[in-house]
Structure 1
Amino acid sequence: IDDKIINKAKEQNKTIKEITDFYTNAYHAEMAKLGVKRPDIEPKATESLEAMFELIEKLLLSNHAYKTSNGDVYFDTSSDRDYLKLSHRVQDESQKQQRIENFSEKRNSADFALWKSVHDDSVSFESPFGKGRPGWHIECSAMIEKHLAKKGNKFAVDIHGGGADLLFPHHENEAAQTRCATNHTLANYWMHNGFVNIDGEKMSKSLGNSFFLKDALNVYDGEVLRFYLLGTHYRSNFNFNEEDLLNSKKRLDKIYRLKKRLFGLPHKDEKTEFREDLLKALSDDLNISESLALVDEMLTEINEKLDNDPKAKEIKSQALSNLAYLEEVLGFGGQ
């Protein structure tokens, strides 16, 4: 339930559902071309309002939230002793005492909205706190609690991901409200991905260098883009340029050349040293550089052995098992 979506709906004279369905469907289509599997559930904020109300009410009852005279509900950051421990930010005394606006009823400058009251004819929803819209952060916590969290678990989810720019304030605020409302921690592991650069420059509308996946998919096969995108560690910034993409495609082609060499041969699922090494590398914070280096070594070694002995059944069997595992774990080589 985002202001930008609401404004776009007004501009195009469409419903919010029409706008969100359009972009959701486009996203699904692009992810499918990249070989990304659909999640089991895809909750929508507009269908999770009751879960948000429940979480806000818990925070109000436990004095971790308060309501202002105009109907807004804020989270009281001073009530959470662990606030800012996720992002490791330091808030000095002047920040703690600062008021954003003279007329503001916020107790602390860092307090964030759980519910924003609406007093005009703009998009709003009825709630126990009055007519309004949910704050950005509460949507995520509420949907996680409703669909993923299990009673008695120390963590609501094992892994929570997002862009590095979301660490603060979004993830910090998510973690705080979940912790205070439920007495369990939001996530066991936090994984933050880097940004996209174009030819060494940060992607931005002002520079006119925005990179859209839909445009790249008109030129390159989805698997080629998948392999290229996977070549950069998720926490690093991704620098898109066509020369690197073409070099990445050559690397992918090596997999298919070996696969063609083994075409039509039966194989059984067997453990190999390559499979163990690949899993070990990926278990180290998804160390993709080491993983792809292992792939290159495996391809070179098997091709050399087959050059020396084209009828080596054991080598062929291991090679087929390795390629099948590569497809299963990293999602390429299956076309």
Structure 2
Amino acid sequence: MQIFDSVKKQKLNFEPIEARKVRIYVCGPTVYDDSHLGHAKSAISFDLLRRILIELKFDVKFVKNFTDIDDKILKKMDETGESLESITNRYIKSYKDDMQALNVLEADIEPKATECLDAIIEYILNLKNKNIAYEIEGDGIYFDTAQDNEYLSLSGKAKSDQNIARVDSNIDKRNEEDFVLWKFDEKWYESPFGRGRPGWHTECVAMIKKYLSSGQDYEIDIHAGGIDLLFPHHENEAAHCRCGEQKTLAKYWMHNGFIKVNDEKMSKSLGNSFFVKDALKQNLGEVLRFYLLSSHYRAHFNYSDEDLSASKKRLDKIYRLKKRVIDSNLGKENKEFKEEFLNAMRDDLNTSKALATIDEFVKTANENLDQNPKDKSQKGEILANLELIARVLGILQIDVYEYFQFGVSDEEKTKIKDLIEERNEAKKLKDYTKADEIREKLASMQISIMDTPSGTMWEKV
């Protein structure tokens, strides 16, 4: 398998630290608000990575954190009068609900910053004892970037006012680039260097050491997150590990691209920070997932309703094929299809190529079914191919009939059910004229019905 390393800026053959074992850490959300499309894109991108590695028989340990203490959370506390726990627990639940709707597998470990204070404090204390961290009285503990000869090597940035502006500003810092490790504040947590709360950058590197450390020169195999985290967050994490542990934090770094909405970068200031929960009101989670993975994970993604609609039609075709073989016995995947599909995914998660392979498979499968509708072996193979697609892409998890019923209200469903029962009763009485009238009435409601061995099924057309 090949993956694009964000630091070396090239595709590399993936060789894990330990044979067949993969340690992955993904930066999760800061839980002060509901998740937006940027969170969804990142989560789906690295869920896809995890799924293909599992399909390729790697033993994957996957950790994603929750930042549950942060300036944005403190601001929310001031605005609402709520406790930290009330705010963060609510938004953690909201995030998890959204990810479940998007078929994102739950991480093996999902640590919170507030649950890892001992590990964070230990990391800072180690840096302080090595004179890599220093105290500014009344302010906090800072990382001395001058002690790291490789600082800015991860992001490839040069020292500039623009870079300095993105790290904490304090005239008493030894160097403009230095960043806070521990902020003094009597309201928060006890530590050997005074009461306070952790800075953002120490949280993830401490969690990696606690939950994933390989005990070798590289702490983990893959560190992943949004491209906006490369600097300063990942840069500063890597500096922690180099100076504190004399190790390289990750063997490979992977980053997903930005999300745009109608050609504008998504941001709250522009009023286009599109929440996942709002998108889910209009679309099935699987439809949104399929749309977001249709573009390469590293590409900057432009969200538009028109493109989403086109993507849904593509997914509809796959579901319609599944409906044709759903009652078949499972066979074995077609070797040629499986190899072509997995090779596309091995190529740095080349979803565009993988989906093109699926499109061709769907077209050919439908043609073959039209020619030989009773070929059980063929149906079993098609179903196996679809299950492979489902495992790797995280789609096709919905009942094939329910998928096409999305958007129909409970009141409408009750009416449809009553009409179908009335039609079935008319057929029992051999009143075919009435049965046809009911079918036509359902058709006028944009409802198509299908008589199957399992009963009369329906879908919205």
* TM-score, length of structure 2 as denominator length: 0.67
Mark the structure with the bigger radius of gyration.
2
2:193 pairs, out of 112, 125, 129, with 129
Q: What's 2:138 paired with?
A: 70
Deviates more, 1:301-310 or 1:157-166: 301-310
C-alpha distance in structure 2 between counterparts of 1:46 and 1:203, whole Å: 29
The answer on 1:267 being equivalent to 2:330 is yes
2:173 pairs, out of 106, 115, 122, with 106
Q: What's 1:246 paired with?
A: 309
Shift of 1:223: 0.9
The answer on 1:39 being equivalent to 2:136 is no
1:159 pairs, out of 219, 222, 239, with 222
The answer on 1:212 being equivalent to 2:280 is no
Aligned alpha-carbon RMSD (Å): 2.0
Per-residue CA deviations over 1:39-64 (Å, capped at 9, x if unaligned) read 12111111111101111111122222
Amino acid at match of 2:130: S
1:116 pairs, out of 178, 183, 190, with 183
Per-residue CA deviations over 1:211-264 (Å, capped at 9, x if unaligned) read 111011111111111111111111112211111111111100111111111121
Residues paired across the two proteins, number: 326
Deviates more, 1:75-84 or 1:166-175: 75-84
C-alpha distance in structure 1 between counterparts of 2:129 and 2:280, whole Å: 50
For 2:270, what is the secondary structure of its paired residue?
A: coil
C-alpha distance in structure 1 between counterparts of 2:395 and 2:198, whole Å: 40
Question: For residues 91 and 124 of structure 1, do their structure 2 counterparts lie closer, same or farther at Cα, with a shift above 3 Å needed?
Answer: same
Deviates more, 1:305-314 or 1:215-224: 305-314
Which structure has more RCO (C-alpha within 8 Å, separation ≥ 6)?
2
C-alpha distance in structure 1 between counterparts of 2:89 and 2:81, whole Å: 15
Shift of 1:306: 2.3
Shift of 1:329: 0.7
C-alpha contact 1:71 1:130 (8 A) present in aligned 2: no
Higher relative strand content: 2
C-alpha distance in structure 1 between counterparts of 2:83 and 2:318, whole Å: 47
2:204 pairs, out of 128, 135, 140, with 140
Q: What's 2:128 paired with?
A: 60
C-alpha contact 2:102 2:286 (8 A) present in aligned 1: yes
C-alpha distance in structure 1 between counterparts of 2:397 and 2:78, whole Å: 44
C-alpha contact 1:196 1:240 (8 A) present in aligned 2: yes
Q: What's 1:225 paired with?
A: 288
For 1:261, what is the secondary structure of its paired residue?
A: helix
Amino acid at match of 1:65: A
C-alpha contact 1:30 1:214 (8 A) present in aligned 2: yes
Deviates more, 1:7-16 or 1:199-208: 199-208
C-alpha distance in structure 1 between counterparts of 2:260 and 2:333, whole Å: 40
Q: What's 1:300 paired with?
A: 363
Percent identical among aligned pairs is 52
C-alpha distance in structure 2 between counterparts of 1:218 and 1:132, whole Å: 41
C-alpha contact 2:328 2:376 (8 A) present in aligned 1: no
Q: What's 1:48 paired with?
A: 116
Question: For residues 73 and 203 of structure 1, do their structure 2 counterparts lie closer, same or farther at Cα, with a shift above 3 Å needed?
Answer: same
Q: What's 2:383 paired with?
A: 320
For 1:158, what is the secondary structure of its paired residue?
A: strand
2:239 pairs, out of 167, 176, 184, with 176
1:21 pairs, out of 73, 76, 89, with 89
For 2:134, what is the secondary structure of its paired residue?
A: strand
C-alpha distance in structure 2 between counterparts of 1:84 and 1:323, whole Å: 45
For 1:280, what is the secondary structure of its paired residue?
A: helix
C-alpha distance in structure 1 between counterparts of 2:379 and 2:331, whole Å: 11
Question: For residues 184 and 269 of structure 1, do their structure 2 counterparts lie closer, same or farther at Cα, with a shift above 3 Å needed?
Answer: farther
Deviates more, 1:250-259 or 1:267-276: 267-276
C-alpha distance in structure 1 between counterparts of 2:217 and 2:350, whole Å: 27
The answer on 1:201 being equivalent to 2:235 is no
Per-residue CA deviations over 1:153-206 (Å, capped at 9, x if unaligned) read 232222211121111111000011022212222112211112221111222233
Shift of 1:92: 6.7
C-alpha contact 1:233 1:288 (8 A) present in aligned 2: yes
- Structure 1 unpaired stretches of 5+: none
* TM-score, length of structure 1 as denominator length: 0.91
- Structure 2 unpaired stretches of 5+: 1-68, 399-461
For 1:253, what is the secondary structure of its paired residue?
A: helix
Q: What's 2:9 paired with?
A: none
Q: What's 1:285 paired with?
A: 348
